[in-house]
């Protein structure tokens, strides 16, 4: 039978093993013959630790058990690869690991850091407050923890319509005059995979907000529609626009976070709303370089019949911190949480079913 802790007793210590994380039992205090292999004497268990896993109990060689395992990190950039190790108690939080990595790599304040774990087809965020011992790092055959860091993308003040005003260090765009205007992100994507998000703070004025991609020479003070130069969606209606207008998804509402995933390797453009994948909107996009595009519309006030007036809110969007997934462009910090087994890691896929190869 599996042992259970009595109410009020001291919590079991969390430890790392090659088989994942578990809880360390002290057999001197709570002997458990049933947990050992059949016919094994107590003397034969010397040098082994009694560990309770989610799937049951096991005796693991003491040398393979650690309460403060050493994590191996690989920082991969366009020009160099850096390998280093850092010890972390399993009571440490994800935020503490991120800050330690940031300090070790001397990352600037404008570098965004996200701590995630991938099983090669999905992306799982590890919450900053979550203890490492409560996560699934090192459990099973999944790929290890991944820390992705990249410069934070903002609206480009040099490529902004005169109908719009940028605020809050170029992370918030507000339309301030009647008309149709666009603003570009301060980056061009020529290869790899890039993902960014914006929050719709007020998306219903005029025809609403249009989000997508276009070339860097896009005309900023005229309509982006019906000319075949823009790939994107209308947040107000859910339709997608390029050379034709087609239904794509349900309309967005104020407060929604819209994500854009651009895969330059395959010419695919996909959208997300509040983390939910809406699917591929466009494929086979033939362009050497594309920029994030955000277009806002606004019309005059409409007056009511009871002596009051209704003024549509000026469309407003705010840029969130962007995580970048790109061959040749991004820096990846890979954390090996598998307790000392293997010095090389290959990441086959990052983020749902979009190929990305990073080999050591």
Domain membership of residue 1 (yes or no) is no
Same domain, 177 and 295: yes
The pLDDT tens digits of the residues spanning 185-218 come to 888 888 777 778 888 876 554 467 889 999 888 8
What's the mean pLDDT in 33-57? 66
Domain membership of residue 20 (yes or no) is yes
Same domain, 60 and 75: no
DSSP 200-213: EEE--STT-EEEEE
Distances (CA, A) of 278 to 34, 112, 205, 249, 323: 50, 25, 24, 7, 18
Same domain, 215 and 311: yes
pTM to 2 decimals?
A: 0.51
For residue 21, name the pLDDT band (cuts at 50, 70, 90): confident
Average model confidence (pLDDT) for the chain? 67
Query: Which domain does 52 fall in, by range?
Result: 13-64
Same domain, 192 and 338: no
What pLDDT was estimated at residue 250?
93
Same domain, 244 and 339: no
Same domain, 184 and 291: yes
Instruction: Point out the least confidently predicted range of 35-39, 84-88, 224-228.
Output: 35-39
Higher pLDDT, 150 or 221: 221
Q: Please, are residues 53 and 3 in contact by the beta-carbon 8 Å criterion?
A: no
Q: Please, are residues 210 and 258 in contact by the beta-carbon 8 Å criterion?
A: no
């Amino acid at each position: 039978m599996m042992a259970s802790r009595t109410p009020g007793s001291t919590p079991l210590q969390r430890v790392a093993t090659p088989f994942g994380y578990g809880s360390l039992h002290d057999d001197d205090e709570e002997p458990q013959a049933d947990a050992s292999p059949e016919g094994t004497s107590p003397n034969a268990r010397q040098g082994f630790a009694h560990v309770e896993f989610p799937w049951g109990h096991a005796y693991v060689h003491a040398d393979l058990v650690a309460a403060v395992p050493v994590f191996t990190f690989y920082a991969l950039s366009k020009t160099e690869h850096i390998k280093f190790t850092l010890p972390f108690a399993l009571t440490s939080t994800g935020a503490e690991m991120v800050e330690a990595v940031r300090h070790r790599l001397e990352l600037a304040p404008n570098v965004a850091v996200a701590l995630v774990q991938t099983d090669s087809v999905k992306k799982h965020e590890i919450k900053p407050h979550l203890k490492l011992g409560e996560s699934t790092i090192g459990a099973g055959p999944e790929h290890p923890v991944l820390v992705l860091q990249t410069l934070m993308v903002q609206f480009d003040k040099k490529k902004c319509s005169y109908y719009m005003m940028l605020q809050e260090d170029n992370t918030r765009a507000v339309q301030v005059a009647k008309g149709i205007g666009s603003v570009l992100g301060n980056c061009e994507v020529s290869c790899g995979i890039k993902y960014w998000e914006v929050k719709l703070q007020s998306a219903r004025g005029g025809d609403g907000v249009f989000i997508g991609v276009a070339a860097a020479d896009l005309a900023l003070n005229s309509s982006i529609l019906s000319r075949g130069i823009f790939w994107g969606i209308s947040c107000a209606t859910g339709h997608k626009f390029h050379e034709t207008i087609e239904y794509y998804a349900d309309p967005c509402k104020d407060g929604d976070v819209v994500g854009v995933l651009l895969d330059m390797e395959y010419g695919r453009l996909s959208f997300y709303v509040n983390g939910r994948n809406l699917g591929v909107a466009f494929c086979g996009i033939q362009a050497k370089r594309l920029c994030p595009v955000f277009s806002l519309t606004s019309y005059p006030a409409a007056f009511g019949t009871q002596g009051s007036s209704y003024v549509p809110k000026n469309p407003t969007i705010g840029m969130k911190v962007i995580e970048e997934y790109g061959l040749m462009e991004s820096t990846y910090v890979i954390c090996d949480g598998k307790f000392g087994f293997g010095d090389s890691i290959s990441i086959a896929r990052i983020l749902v079913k979009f190929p990305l190869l990073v080999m050591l």
